[in-house]
């Protein structure tokens, strides 16, 4: 009798253990399937185009290769950056453009973007005082507009 009870107990434990393992192996995943593509190009990854605002020596503006009048600049930048995840604008000034014009462009663009990267040519830096003034003015505008500005003298 004891032997039969012992065999019945071991068989029941084995059956319960087997059912648990079977249930774990047959359970469906709770997530969702994602098909990964082997190769993707940068253009398929979202905001891949770099937006460059160029200040030209004839006191006009160009966004990438398209000329934009000064009065339409802020609206055009807002339209470009409206649907972008990261509103980053690169600003490049021709050597003949004054610091004041660069600071004005930063102020105009400040309402449309949150990150500005400004590249100033060496010919623009006539003196250290002028360079410091430009950095100060850009920082002041950035502070009042809540934008990040980085200035590079190239």
Tokens coding 43: 């253009």
For 17-33, what is each residue's pLDDT tens digit? 888 877 777 766 667 77
For 56-104, what is each residue's pLDDT tens digit? 888 889 988 899 998 888 889 888 888 877 777 888 888 788 878 888 8
Instruction: Calculate mean pLDDT across residues 40-58.
Output: 70
> Which is more confident, 120 or 101?
101
Measured distance between the N- and C-terminal CA atoms of the chain, rounded to whole angstroms: 96
Sheet holding 51-55, edge to edge: 66-68, 61-63, 51-55, 88-93, 115-120, 148-153
For 128-146, what is each residue's pLDDT tens digit? 444 545 555 555 555 544 4
pLDDT value at residue 67: 93
Tokens coding 96: 């003949």
DSSP assigned state of 36: P
CA distance 56 to 89: 16
- pTM confidence score: 0.53
């Amino acid at each position: 009798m004891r032997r039969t009870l012992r065999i019945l107990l071991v068989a029941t434990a084995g059956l319960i253990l087997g059912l648990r393992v079977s249930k774990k192996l047959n359970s469906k995943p709770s997530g969702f399937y994602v098909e990964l593509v082997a190769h993707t190009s940068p253009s398929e990854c979202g905001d891949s185009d770099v937006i460059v605002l160029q200040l030209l020596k004839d006191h006009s503006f160009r966004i990438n290769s398209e000329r934009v009048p000064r009065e339409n600049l802020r609206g055009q930048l807002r339209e470009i950056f409206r649907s972008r995840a990261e509103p980053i604008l690169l600003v490049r000034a021709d050597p003949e453009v004054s610091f004041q014009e660069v600071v004005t462009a930063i102020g105009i663009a400040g309402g449309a973007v949150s990150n500005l990267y400004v590249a100033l040519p060496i010919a623009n830096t006539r003196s250290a005082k002028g360079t410091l003034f430009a950095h100060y003015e850009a920082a002041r505008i950035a502070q009042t507009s809540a934008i990040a500005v980085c200035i590079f003298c190239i």
